[in-house]
Structure 1
Amino acid sequence: MVARLETIGLSKRYQDVTALSPTDLQVQDGEFLTLLGPSGSGKTTLLQIIAGLVEPSDGKLLIDGKDATRKAAGERGIGMVFQSYALFPHMTVWDNVAYPLRMRKEGRAAMDAAVKDALEMVQMGAYAHRLPRELSGGQQQRIALARCFVYKPSVILLDEPLGALDKKLREHMQSEIRRLHKDLGATFIYVTHDQEEALNLSDRICLMNQSKIEQIGTPQAMYDQPATVFSAQFIGYSNLLEGTLEQGATGLDTLRNGRFSLPVIPQDASQTATRTLVVRPENARLANPESAYLRGRVDEVVFAGSDIRVLIDIGEAEPFLLRCGRREAPLVGDIVGVSWQRELSTVLTTAVAV
C-alpha cells in the first residue's frame, strides 16, 4: 500500500547547523502521527518542510506516491493549523472560514454549504457573524480548525495548536481534535513538546531528538518499551538503574553494581555489558526490606490526588520514585523495600547520560 505521505532522506542544514538529519518516515492514510520532542529536536523543521514553508537541503517528499518536494505550498493539498490561530481580525468567523475557498474560486452555493458544514463540525455555527476578538481562545482555535478543514485536505498539519490554551481547555480541545480526526478520516501530523498530549491523541508517536528520529511506535509501546534512555526519560517518568549484566545458568540474568543485584529477563550478551534498567513508578511496589530488590530510606512523601508519590534514597544519584495508595504510604524516615515484576521493566543497552 502506498503511504499517504513519505519522506526519504529529507534533511535541512543552515550553514554549519543541522536542523534536520536525513529522515525516513511513512505516514499512512487516516493516521494520526505526532512529532514529539524538545525544542531544537527537528520536529517543527520537518513539519515546515512537509508544508512547503521551508525548502529541504536534500531528500524527497512523496504525497500519495508522487514527488512533491519542489511543489509550492498551495499545490500540495495540505492544510495547516498554527498555535497563533492566524485569523484575520477584520473578518467575521464566516469570512475567515470561507477564505481558503475564495482563494480557490469556489462557487457561492458550494462555498456556503462547505462553510456551514465546517462550522457545525467544530460546534461554532452560532458564531458565524462574530469577529475573532469577540471569541475566547478556545473558540478561536476551533475557527482555525474549521478554516483548515473546509476545503477537505487529505493531510492536515497541526503545529502546537493548543500551546496557547490553559490546561483544562487543552484537555477539552484534545477530545475535540480526536473527534474531528475520526469524523474527517484525514491524515493528521501533529507537533508538540507535551508528552501527555502525544499519548492522548496519537495512533503513533515519532519521538525526535537532536534533529533525528529517536523512536517510533504506538503510545503504549513507546511508554512500556522505550528503546533508549532519552525515550524513557522524555515520555513519562522512569527510574533508571545502571549496572553490569551477568548471565546466569538458571535462565535469569542479573544486573549488578556496588549497591544492588537485580534479576532481569534474559538479555543478548553479544552487546555491551553495561545496561540501564528502566522501572516506571507505577510498576514498583513497597516490599519487605529484607527480601526486596532495593532497600532505602523514605526522603519525601507527596500527596498527588489519586495516589501518593514516595521518593526513596537507595544510594543512587537520583532517588527512586514509587507510586502507592494512601493506605500503603510510609512515613518520611522509614526504611522500606522496593520490588517489581521483571516483565514490567525494560533493559536498555544505552547508558544514562552524565
Structure 2
Amino acid sequence: MAPASRPPTATPPAASSSRIDSPSLKAALAMALMHYNRLPSRAAAAAGTSTPPLTHWKRKAKERKREILRLREELKLLQDGVRGEETEPPVASCRCHFFDGCGDLQPPLPPGGGDHWVDEVLRRRFLRLARWKEKRRRLDRSLPVSSLMEFNREDEIQQLSLSTDFLVELSDGIFAKRDSMSSFATFSHQAVDFILASLRNILSTKRERELVEEIIDGLVARLMKRMCTISENNCTSDSGSVDCSDAQFSVQHLFRKLGQEEFIGQRIILVVSQKISNLSEMLLLVDPFDDSFPDMHGNMFIMIQLIEFLISDYIKKWLCCEQFDKNFFEEWVRSILKARKDLEVLENINGLYVVYIERVVGRLAREVAPAAHQGKLNLDVFSKLLC
C-alpha cells in the first residue's frame, strides 16, 4: 500500500505583505493625498473662482506692452511735430478769479489767514504743462535736448526755474495775442501759485540761496522789461473774463501777486524804484513830441502805482516774517527816496510824478514807523521819509 502523499504547502507572500506594511510607503501615500486635497477642484477652476498665476501675469504683460507702444507712438508724433496745440491740456471752463480786483487798493486777504496751499493734483498738472511747453520750444528751435530736461521730482530749484520761464513765456504770449485772456488768467494763476510754493519750500531748507536769488532776480528783470515795453497793440478781452484788459496792467498784477512772498516783493520794489530813477533821466532828454514819450509817461505811472500796491498790500506782512532781510529793506527804502529826489527835477515837466511818489512815500512812512522804533530800519533813513 502506497503511502498517502502530502498536500502541497502554500508559501505565504512575505515579500508583497512587507511592501504594503512599509512605513515609508504609507507616509508617501499620506503626503500624496494631502497634496491632492489642497489642489483646486476642477469644478471651481471651470467656474472661474480662481485665476491661475500664469494667466494673470500674461494679462499684465500684455497691458504693459500696449501702454509702452502707446507712449512710444505719442513720443514719435511729438518729435515729428505732427501734434499741435491739441496736445496742450484744455483750460478749465470755470471762471478764474485771479485778476479780480486788479487795480484796486488793499484787496481782501485770502481765506485761511493768508496761508498758501497748492493742491497736489494741480501741482502735477502744471508741471506736465510747463515741461510740455519747454520741450515744444526746444523742438521748434531745433535745439538738442540737454540733460537739464531730465527733471528730478525732488529738485525744487529746477522746478522753480522751469515755472519762472513758463510765466515769462505766458507774458510774451499775451503781448503778442497768442493766448486768450481766459487761458492767460488760468495758467498764470497756476504759475504764480507754483512759484510761491516752491520758493517757500526752498527757503525753509536754507539751501542754494544764491542760486534762488539769481532765478528770482532774473524773473523780476524779465517781467519788468515786458511791463515797460512800448507795445503797439494792447491786449483786450472780448469775453470779459478778466477785469484788466491791458497787457501791461496784467503783468503789473503778476508782480503784485508774486509780491506776497517777502523774498520776491522786496526785490520788485528795489528794481522798480531804480527803473523810475533811470526813466526820469531819460525824460529830461527826450523830446515831448517824440512818439515814444506817451509810452514812457505811462510806464512811469504804472511803476509808481506798483510800488504803492506792494507797500499797501504786504509791508506789514513782510515786517512780521521770520526771514525778513533788514539790510535789503533799508536798501530799497533808500532807493525810493532817491527816486523821489530824481522826480522832483521833472516837476516842471509833469507835477503829477511828484504828487504820486509823495503819496507812496507818505504811506511807506506810516507803515514802517513801528519797524523803525523796533530797530528794523535806520532812524536816519526813517527821518528822511518824514521830510
TM range (shorter): under 0.3
Greater Cα radius of gyration, structure 1 or 2: 2
Higher strand share: 1
Q: Which has the higher contact order (CA 8 A, sep 6+)?
A: 1
Higher helix share: 2
TM-score normalized by the length of structure 1: 0.25
